[in-house]
Amino acid sequence: MLRSVILAASRSSRVERLVATAPYTRDVVRRFVAGTTPDDALRATRELVTAGLTVTLDHLGEDTVTAEQATAVREAYLELLAVLRAAGLTGSAEVSVKLSAVGQAFDEKLAYENARLICAAAAEAGTTVTLDMEDHTTTDSTLDILAKLRADHPSTGAVLQAYLRRTESDCRELAGAGSRVRLCKGAYKEPESVAYQSASDVDKSYVRCLNVLMAGDGYPMLATHDPRLIAIGQERARWYDRTPDSFEFQMLYGIRPDEQTRLASEGHTVRVYVPYGDEWYGYLMRRLAERPANVAFFARSLMSK
Ligand code: FDA
């Protein structure tokens, strides 16, 4: 119930204005977002890499409505890749891109073209791109664009969301050699017709999808903070003789940081998803919706100052 309310609010510009102007919102944002500039992103990346972790960077933004905005997002990624390259960090850091930020909602061709330029710049810098997955109305379009991008840049990755009923089958499609799939539970409010609704059904689906990916020939990226699913991932890695360079765990910036370094110290590859930029509202609301305790934390920090 609370999750639905928060996810509905994530689409409301009125609530966005209220949250953005609340006096201590910035303190809460800072827990989940690395900062606003490429230098902030670089600083966070350096800290994480020094701690033995790898990184994927997300220039915050979604639901772009003009070609100019889409171009600005593309340019922000090109700038970020140049900064990472100059700092010698492209061996440890890649980028994550939301197609809606580069024009998907109003011009799929433009979104593809922008994503293609980002993939080309990433390849030149010696790193990769992973396409984030948004609500279910964009899944087909995102996977179509992924297939086109992979024709030139086969290492381009995609996110699949275990809460969608279709995802086990999408995992089978994408479990082949050379593919990179980031498996997460899913963060949007989706109808029962397309998505499992109960936590236990989503978890069961996650395990089925994880089995398909770990048994396949691709590179699975297990994006979860859930201790049970992490343990199952470790167990399947042993079962399928997967070495630490043939799959990885992924978590979000600011969430379970001790677990991130613990897994890395056990020899696992762990990648942290680091968002930065001004457009943090939708991202923050999805993080609040995932965990009621975060709403309490937000409320406390609003009241305690
Ligand atoms: P779950 O929500 O059950 O949490 C398990 C435990 O993790 C909790 O008990 C708590 O300890 C901790 N935890 C989880 N979320 C927390 C939070 N917000 N704050 C504090 N603690 C928290 N989704 C999507 O739809 N499209 C996408 O492209 C992506 N991309 C993506 C990339 C990466 C690297 C990650 C890790 C996640 C995503 N997601 C996503 C988000 C994902 O779908 C999901 O909403 C969150 O990861 C939370 O789900 P968990 O698997 O962690 O389990």
- Go through the domains of the chain in sequence order and give each one's CATH number: 34-279 (3.20.20.220)
To test ligand 1's pocket by mutation, which of 226, 232, 284 has the most ligand atoms within 8 angstroms of CB?
226
14, with CB counted inside 10 A (0-12, 13-18, 19+), is: exposed
pLDDT 10s digits, 180-239? 999 999 999 999 999 999 999 999 999 999 999 999 999 999 999 999 999 999 999 999
What one-character DSSP code corresponds to residue 177?
A: T
pLDDT 10s digits, 115-174? 999 999 999 999 999 999 999 999 999 999 999 999 999 999 999 999 999 999 999 999
Reply yes or no on whether 286 is catalytic. no
| Angle made by CA atoms 204, 205, 207, in degrees to the nearest 5 | 65
Query: Mean per-residue pLDDT for 248-265?
Result: 97
d(CA 136, CA 39): 33
Marked catalytic residue, from 74, 116, 150, 182: 182
The count of other CB atoms within 10 Å of the CB of residue 260 is: 24
**d(CA 151, ligand 1 centre) in Å:** 30
List C-alpha distances in Å: 272 to 46, 81, 102, 268: 12, 17, 23, 13
**d(CA 290, ligand 1 centre) in Å:** 7
Nearest CA to ligand 1 atom 36: 251
**d(CA 109, ligand 1 centre) in Å:** 30
Go through 198-233 and write b for each residue having 16 or more CB atoms within 10 A of its CB, e for each that does not. Answer: eeeebbebbeebbbbbbebebbbbbbbbbeebbebb
List C-alpha distances in Å: 143 to 58, 105, 107, 198, 304: 19, 14, 15, 25, 45
Q: What are the residues facing 273 on neighbouring strands? A: 56, 252
Predicted local confidence at residue 180, as pLDDT: 98
SS3 274: strand
14-18, 51-55, 133-137, 152-156 — which is least confidently predicted?
Answer: 14-18
d(CA 115, CA 120): 9
Reply yes or no on whether 182 is catalytic. yes
Place of tokens 């499992």: 196
pLDDT 10s digits, 94-108? 999 999 999 999 999
CA 119, 82, 78, 271 dihedral sign is: positive
Nearest CA to ligand 1 atom 6: 226
Average pLDDT for the chain: 93
